[in-house]
Amino acid sequence: MSVNDTAIEVRNLTKRYDGLLAVDDICFAVRKGELFGFLGPNGAGKTTTVRILTGVITADNGTALVMGSRAGSLKAKQVAGVVPEMANAYNDLSGWNNVMLMAELYSIASGEAKERSEALLKALGLLERKDSLVKTYSKGMKQRLILGMALISDPQVLFLDEPTSGLDVQSARLIKSLIQGLNDRGKTVFLTTHDMDEANQLCDRVAIINKGRIVAIDAPERLRIATSGRHSVEVSFTDSVSTDNLARLPSVKEVQKIGDKYRLYTDVPGDLAVTLVNYSASAGLKIVSLNILAPSLEDAFITLTTKESGDV
């Protein structure tokens, strides 16, 4: 990746908190215009990495560049928009005043700031409530407003730390479609999430991070295909079935009960599907649904992070 193509470059980044390694010698690069995901469980180091890149904290070792400038410098911050994980807008200001404040802090000219604010609030579905105090907004409205505050400066790079966390389905969908739209317009997006589906749907590439270390970086599809032994057959019956009985079927490696369905992991999903049909007939059961599933990103995550921690 050449320097001109790179929006974010991280080399040997390390950060400790009271002796605990929150980020452990990580390296990655994000291309301009890419939608890059940082996927990992709580405490993996995602937010710490974002805070270093947005200049809120400094690393103990290593380098981080945003659009060629040192992360945390005024130049880097000027081209970045940020939605922190635990962020609120100013509750005692109106939605409009919140967005205009951000415009002032990025030195957007007053006339242009007003035009952009109006367009943004309209796109976010907040124009009608722009003069209401933010304390009267719902959670989804607040999150959309915070996204608007990040976009007012028309940033080249957007840092989104768990942007849909805690939102209802509708609000989450709206935020995701907005993010996709931004990326379609050429913005570089750095997204952290612990939601596998979100990473799978949105990201061009995903870095899986666990306990401060990057375990893998690749496109979601390639990560899924690269993992073996996580093919599965998902079946649901009209009556409940003992998971022990299902586990004893030939070529079944593992059984998980997920709601009213059973997911059986196997190396030979086609053979297992036939086995399940025969089993249901012999046990007097009726199959409601039967699907052969390719490894999900969640499966890839579990496989890769299990290998990394040595618990094979």
Partner 1 sequence: MSDLVIIRQQVQRAFAIARKDVRIYYAKGPIIIYGVLMPVFLFLAFTIGRSLPADLMIPGLVGMILFFTATSVSPIVLPWEAQARTLERLMACPVRLETIILGDVLASFIFGVGISVVPIVIGLNLGVTIVSPAIFVLAVVLAAFCFATLGNVFSIPPTNLPATVNMIAAAVRLPVVFISGVFIPLDELPVWGQKIAYVSPLTYFTDIARSLMQGQGHLPLVVDFLALIGFTIVFLIVAMKLHRRTMPRRI
Task: Say if CB 153 and CB 76 are below 8 A apart.
Answer: no
Which residue lies nearer to partner 1 by CB, 92 or 115? 92
Cα dihedral: 72, 75, 78, 83 (round 10): -20
Find all residues with CB under 8 Å of 211, minimum gap 6, and list them: 24, 43, 44, 45, 308, 309
User: Least distance to partner 1 from the beta carbon of 80, Å?
Assistant: 7
Task: Compute the distance between CA of residue 219 and CA of residue 217 in angstroms, rounded to an integer.
Answer: 7
Which residue lies nearer to partner 1 by CB, 56 or 119? 56
Does 74 bind partner 1 (CB under 8 A)? Our answer is: yes
Does 56 bind partner 1 (CB under 8 A)? Our answer is: yes
Task: Compute the distance between CA of residue 113 and CA of residue 200 in angstroms, rounded to an integer.
Answer: 35
User: Least distance to partner 1 from the beta carbon of 159, Å?
Assistant: 8
Residues 85-104 as x/- pattern, contact with partner 1 by CB under 8 A: -xxxxxxxx---x---xx-x
Does 105 bind partner 1 (CB under 8 A)? Our answer is: yes
Which residue lies nearer to partner 1 by CB, 146 or 297? 146
User: Least distance to partner 1 from the beta carbon of 104, Å?
Assistant: 4
Find all residues with CB under 8 Å of 178, minimum gap 6, and list them: 123, 124, 147
Does 51 bind partner 1 (CB under 8 A)? Our answer is: yes
Applying CB under 8 A, the span of 56-64, 119-127, 193-201, 273-281 interacting with partner 1 comes to: 56-64
Single out the residue of 43, 98, 49, 44 nearest to residue 71, CA to CA. 49
Instruction: Compute φ and ψ for 33, nearest 5 degrees.
Output: 80, 5
* Residue from 149, 172, 235, 241 binding partner 1 (CB under 8 A): 149
Find where tokens 């966390």 sit: 165
Tell me the site size for partner 1, rule CB under 8 A.
Answer: 30
Applying CB under 8 A, the span of 82-90, 112-120, 165-173, 273-281 interacting with partner 1 comes to: 82-90
On the 0-12 / 13-18 / 19+ scale of CB atoms within 10 A, 77 is: buried
Applying CB under 8 A, the span of 50-58, 225-233, 267-275, 276-284 interacting with partner 1 comes to: 50-58
Which residue lies nearer to partner 1 by CB, 39 or 146? 146
Which residue lies nearer to partner 1 by CB, 74 or 312? 74
Single out the residue of 109, 108, 23, 32 nearest to residue 65, CA to CA. 32
Instruction: Compute φ and ψ for 297, nearest 5 degrees.
Output: -65, -30
Contacts with partner 1 by CB under 8 A lie at: 51, 54-58, 74, 77-78, 80, 82, 84, 86-93, 97, 101-102, 104-107, 146, 149, 159
